A and B are shown apart, each in its own frame.
Chain A
Amino acid sequence: MASVLLDRVFKTYPGGFTAVKGVSFAVPDGGFCVLVGPSGCGKSTLLRMIAGLETISDGAISIGDRVVNKVEPMDRDIAMVFQNYALYPHMSVYDNMAYGLRNLKTPEPEIRARVSEAAKILELDDDMLKRKPRQLSGGQRQRVAMGRAIVRKPAVFLFDEPLSNLDAKLRVQMRIEIRKLQRRLKTTSIYVTHDQLEAMTLADMLVVMNAGRVEQVGAPLELYERPASVFVAGFLGSPPMNFLDGIVEKPGRVRLTGGGELAYDAAHFGPPLGAEVKAGVRPERVTFSNDGSGLPFALELVEELGLGQLVHGRVAGGDFTVALPASHNAPSGEAQHLAIPADAVHLFDTKTGARL
């Protein structure tokens, strides 16, 4: 059990490329932290730095109350689950799980006890323990990889996109299992993913990264409801947030560049008058108005999801998506009008992308 602290961490590669640019955040003891961002944002590099597989160019990483910058991976009291599982192909499942403990000179009866305990948690039966990794399915391999991490009883679990090699259905199932497992073991965990849904559902604490920097840190819902930047707003949520360009005309009102007006909650946003803004609206907060008032919406396509519908079209010269629950009927006819409540509108600075 330990907290993890990152203090202005940098990673610069010998070629001069800086992958991580001054990242700071703290994961509390027992917390589940998810690093999320598009590929190339530095999240995996950061995780590997925490694991000790990459050197730290500048800044400090602490696990517990110990700075681990110069500590070897094996001495950091961590365990890592890799994207492609990284199981030793020539060892049985049992030996895969026992290998780390054997290297640490753990007595054999204790190893046996820990492996069988982990196997029970992960529902791996005795027959499976005798098999080689290649005789297992993807989901089973993933379990073994997690078992290898569990038996070590580390202070911190590190997960590097562990579910991305699994098919969609299994991914959802394993996601739930990982969450349950972490709740049960209460081990501090850091999890890297590019899948925002995985990030939202797993995290106690979400760290959104972009281009080597942290965009925002916080609880998933907080980030969803109060994104600090256009990037976070656009990254979290599926379908993503709609953005409309405009200029603040008077408090509470934005004149859209493509025509039309949008009301926003002046109690929450205080942009200077005349400022150029991006107005963000989540697809699920929008409905179609019946009386012909509101923003004109040119319907282009309706996607039926079963769970609901996605209505794609154009508003004020830009693409716009509306997510309707299943109980609603999709509008018929090309010309529609949108009812957008004022409290659904987020305002961001067009130039800096920051929340206003």
Chain B
Amino acid sequence: MVENRPFGNILAHLILIAGVLVIVFPVYMAFVASTWDPATIANGKLGLLPGPYLVENYSRILFEGTGRTTRAHVDVMLLNSFVSAMIIATGKIAISLISSYAIVYFRFPLRMVAFWLIFLTLMFPVEVRIYPTYKIVADLGLLDTYAGLSVPLIASATATLLFRQFFMTVPDELLEAAKIDAAGPLRFFKDVLLPLSRTNIAALFVILFIYGWNQYLWPLLITTRDDMQTVVIGIKKIVTVQDALTEWQLAMATAILAMLPPVLVVVVMQKLFVKGLVETEK
């Protein structure tokens, strides 16, 4: 349908601009705060323009550490967050691809039981099973390791379900053609199913990377060493101080830095992400 209604267009744009402002303004304020000194912020004299402390603040959190509460540098935290988010995202995708392949394409005893068990775990988020999971991870000696940060979060019912639904829409004839073309199960998976799931994988990767990046409770529990902290925990620690002025400029600078990798992932994968959500290539 082709419409030409200038008023409607203007209205739509006004609403969109308002929406963008609502989202962007707080981020901008965080950036402004990260360029001032603590006294200005504490006195409520923070204006709308960036201050003169940009280089100082950022170089301090990156190279000197964040001072009183978190001794680690922010770049270490960023690296920790990045590694665990990557392990979580790729691990989740790999495991759910394999498990949904098994559930959709193979007839084995208790297949539906396995499926429903996976489905049931949807109802048990990390928070519910946090104590037993902590116990297991601690007994395995995985506290303060990347494995401990990521492995317990890898099992994913959502991604398994998503791939299952996708695999079920792949026409059976493709499998049959592959069988006649002398492709075994592994070949079919690698040569046909994986390339067809490309956009789905990309969309999931974006979602899961952000999920992993934003983890709070779990890293808080299992990391005690400063050099294993993730950046989300770092921000929290900078903010909570006793008997002193909170160094908001450092907290905001860390927050800005913490925001960049997920934004980068979204921007880079945007095209594939949208494609993965709206269209399937079959």
Contacts and interface: CB of A to CB of B under 8 A. Distances in A.
Given A84-B171, A84-B173, A89 B282 contact: yes
Of residues B182, B183, B198, which shows the largest number of chain A Cβ atoms within 10 Å of its Cβ? B182
A83 B174 CA distance: 12
Contact of B176 (A82, A88, A100, A103): A82
A266 interface: no
Contacts of A104: 182
A111 B172 CA distance: 26
Given A80-B176, A89-B282, A90-B195, A100 B182 contact: yes
A231 interface: no
B171 to A, nearest CB: 7
A73 B281 contact: no
Nearest to B194: A90
Contacts of B180: 51-52, 73-74, 78-80, 100
Given A86-B171, A89-B281, A53 B181 contact: no
B30 interface: no
Interface string A73-97: 1100011101111111111000000
Interface residues of A, number: 25
Q: How big is chain B's contact interface, by range?
A: 10 to 19
A40 to B, nearest CB: 18
A74 B176 contact: no
B222 interface: no
B14 interface: no
A86 B170 CA distance: 10
13 contacts: A51-B180, A73-B180, A74-B180, A80-B176, A83-B173, A84-B173, A86-B173, A88-B191, A88-B192, A90-B192, A103-B182, A103-B183, A148-B181
Interface of B: 171, 173-174, 176-183, 187, 191-192, 195-196, 198, 281-282
Given A52-B180, A73-B179, 14 more contacts: A51-B176, A78-B180, A80-B180, A82-B173, A84-B173, A85-B173, A87-B177, A88-B191, A90-B192, A91-B195, A99-B183, A99-B191, A100-B182, A104-B182
